Structure 1
């Protein structure tokens, strides 16, 4: 299974992945869950584009497929990869995909962006993307142009673009606003195990044909 942790910049994706990995080691599950982020899959180009990011999502999907043959799962987190990009990756119809959105309220988000010395010019963009991701978690029809514009030509957007909200479009949402990094990591690790066990929303192979 591909376990995607999504979220805007500053919500704690990379930190959550690192703490979740430590928990897997402590629970002796590190041979079951492999962790990765976008920038570990390929050298970063001088000017990363949306199309390049989407190619790397396909690489993550293919890695998850390879791991599945060994009875393992891939926890993929780091860059703000939306659920729709994972589902539209060309090979995504060959594996189950579960997605978890790390969300944060405006006050906490602004504080975290300030701690990172984020440019004042980029802060509105980060906030807008967080708002879009929140809507995308429940409504596949909400401004799909946010990810389909300037996209990698091989992406299979027809799997979900044009759909309306429904029970088949679901993901887990974790509000990290008041959580410590360790708590977020624990919740993500627990979510991984619940998704694999079928106790959290999962996009099963071929779901879009249903």
Structure 2
């Protein structure tokens, strides 16, 4: 299974991956974009899409061994993973790390994020929150200037419904250790079928 942890900047994605890795057994491998290949000087959306496909293929290889890939650390939304060319061959579960505005602005400031960029980070957090329940919400945010191989037809045009579901975890008041523990628990629940999962070929149903 491919286990995607998504979220805006400073919500705790990389921290969750690092902490969860120590709480999960060796049937789980973890990755983020920089572990899958070199990052170009000027990363583009199309490059990110290609790297998502690399992650999907790695998850497929692990699944053949009865293992799973926890893909966390980057602002990759669910729709991009589901549209990766090989994503129809693997079960996919997604967890959105959400955060309230006050906590998000404080974390961005502590990181030294320029004040003029904070509204962009907040807007992306808002978009991800809407995308978690509505596949039709401002889809051009990820489909414009996309890698041509992406299969957006799998979900573009769908209305909100029970078949479009992911787990949402509010990290606003959680410590890094708590976020890692929550993500590790979500991984186990998803693998056991106790959290929303997009089964291979789900869009054909």
- TM norm. shorter chain > 0.5: yes
Task: Identify the residue that residue 163 of structure 2 maps to in structure 1.
Answer: 168
Task: Identify the residue that residue 151 of structure 1 maps to in structure 2.
Answer: 146
Give the Cα–Cα distance (whole angstroms) in 2 for the partners of residues 143 and 79 of structure 1: 20
Give the Cα–Cα distance (whole angstroms) in 2 for the partners of residues 116 and 82 of structure 1: 22
Q: Give the TM-score normalised by the residue count of structure 1.
A: 0.97
Task: Identify the residue that residue 21 of structure 2 maps to in structure 1.
Answer: 21
Give the Cα–Cα distance (whole angstroms) in 1 for the partners of residues 178 and 52 of structure 2: 27
Task: Identify the residue that residue 91 of structure 1 maps to in structure 2.
Answer: 86
Q: Give the TM-score normalised by the residue count of structure 2.
A: 0.99
Alpha-carbon displacement from aligned partner over 1:116-146 (angstroms, at most 9, x marks no partner): 0001221111000000000000000000000
RMSD of aligned residue pairs (Cα, Å): 0.5
Instruction: Give 5+ residue unaligned stretches, structure 1.
Output: none
Secondary structure in structure 2 of the residue aligned to 1:15: helix
Give the Cα–Cα distance (whole angstroms) in 1 for the partners of residues 18 and 110 of structure 2: 19
Match runs of 1:54-93 below 5 Å: 54-93=49-88
Residue 109 of structure 2, aligned match among 93, 108, 114:
114
Secondary structure in structure 1 of the residue aligned to 2:23: helix
Give the Cα–Cα distance (whole angstroms) in 2 for the partners of residues 175 and 68 of structure 1: 29
How many aligned positions are there? 205
Instruction: Give 5+ residue unaligned stretches, structure 2.
Output: none
Give the Cα–Cα distance (whole angstroms) in 2 for the partners of residues 38 and 102 of structure 1: 17
Task: Identify the residue that residue 189 of structure 1 maps to in structure 2.
Answer: 184
* Cα offset, 1:152, TM superposition: 0.3
Residue 29 of structure 2, aligned match among 16, 34, 45:
34
* Cα offset, 1:22, TM superposition: 1.2
Alpha-carbon displacement from aligned partner over 1:34-89 (angstroms, at most 9, x marks no partner): 00011111101010000000100000000000000111000000110000000000
Give the Cα–Cα distance (whole angstroms) in 2 for the partners of residues 45 and 80 of structure 1: 16
Moved over 3 A (4+): none
Secondary structure in structure 1 of the residue aligned to 2:22: helix
